[in-house]
Amino acid sequence: MAHPAQLGFQDAASPVMEELLHFHDHALMIVFLISTFVLYIIVAMISTKLTNKYILDSQEIEIIWTVLPAMTLVLIALPSLRILYLMDEINSPLLTVKAVGHQWYWSYEYTDYEELGFDAYMIPTQDLAPGQFRLLEADHRMVIPVEAPIRILISADDVLHSWAVPALGVKMDAVPGRLNQMTFISSRPGVFFGQCSEICGANHSFMPIVVEAVPLEHFENWATKMLEDA
């Protein structure tokens, strides 16, 4: 969960998000080193130490500023490709959930169950209980078992939406007439908040996403209760 004046990312709640945080720090360090080197070159040129024509026309300098960027791209590309493979589709998920974006709410269907589905609307400010978060709480949470591979199918009923939960490292566009999919694993129990990340109309900022990761036994009890209520 984010907190006031936060500068960094939310705490990772999935293996993919942990890898994304490591990659962010890795890339940021490379950018910092490049910026420092370029600043040094600029300062040195201003002081006329590098304006000598024999240095500027040097073959060695041309080799360096060709090879170094190529090596930098490799250092960024290798961990990036690794994360892409980690985010790839899994063959046998424990649970499949279909999320459909509407103006302006989300509906969820648990495809492994025959009649388990519900709509999730934002709770109005005046109806919030003590301790609940404004603009982030929904009347129904998407409940999933912890430490289990989850496949989520994402689509939209009207306009473009985007299903995004930062702590889980997931973000996927919901496109009308198209079924996108992604997978994730929640590495710890908790409640994780997200929002539609596509400008989808007047109430774009009022369709939150709430994912609750619970132990498998609790998830089974919740699913049984939801089916009985249905």
Q: Residue 170: which domain range?
A: 95-229
pLDDT score, position 70: 92
Mean pLDDT of 10-23: 91
78 and 130 belong to one structural domain? no
- At residue 82, φ and ψ (nearest 5 deg) are -60, -45
pLDDT in tens, 93-120: 899 999 999 999 999 999 988 889 999 9
DSSP 145: E
Angstrom distance (rounded) from CA 22 to CA 27:
9
Residues 186 and 154 in one domain: yes
Q: What is the pLDDT of residue 51?
A: 59
How many helices (H) and strands (E) in the chain? 4, 10
Residue where a domain stops, chosen among 28, 55, 86: 86
Whether the pLDDT of residue 44 is over 70: the answer is: yes
From the CB of residue 204, how many other CB atoms can be counted at a distance below 10 Å?
17
- 69 and 159 share one domain: no
Shared domain for 72 and 135, answered yes or no, is no
Average pLDDT rounded to a whole number, residues 126-134: 90
Structurally, the chain folds into a number of domains equal to: 2
pLDDT tens-digit readout, 144-163 = 999 999 999 999 999 999 99
Measured distance CA(168)–CA(184) in Å, rounded: 7
For residue 214, the surrounding DSSP H or E stretch is strand 208-214
**How does pLDDT run across 179-207, given as a tens digit for each residue?**
999 999 999 999 999 999 999 889 898 99
What pLDDT does 163 receive?
95
Determine the average pLDDT of the residues in 129-144: 92
Under DSSP, is residue 124 helix (H, G, I), strand (E, B) or coil?
Answer: coil
Number of other CB atoms surrounding residue 88 within 10 Å: 9
CA 148 – CA 11 distance, rounded (Å): 19
Q: Radius of gyration of the chain from Cα atoms?
A: 24
Tell me the average pLDDT of the chain: 88
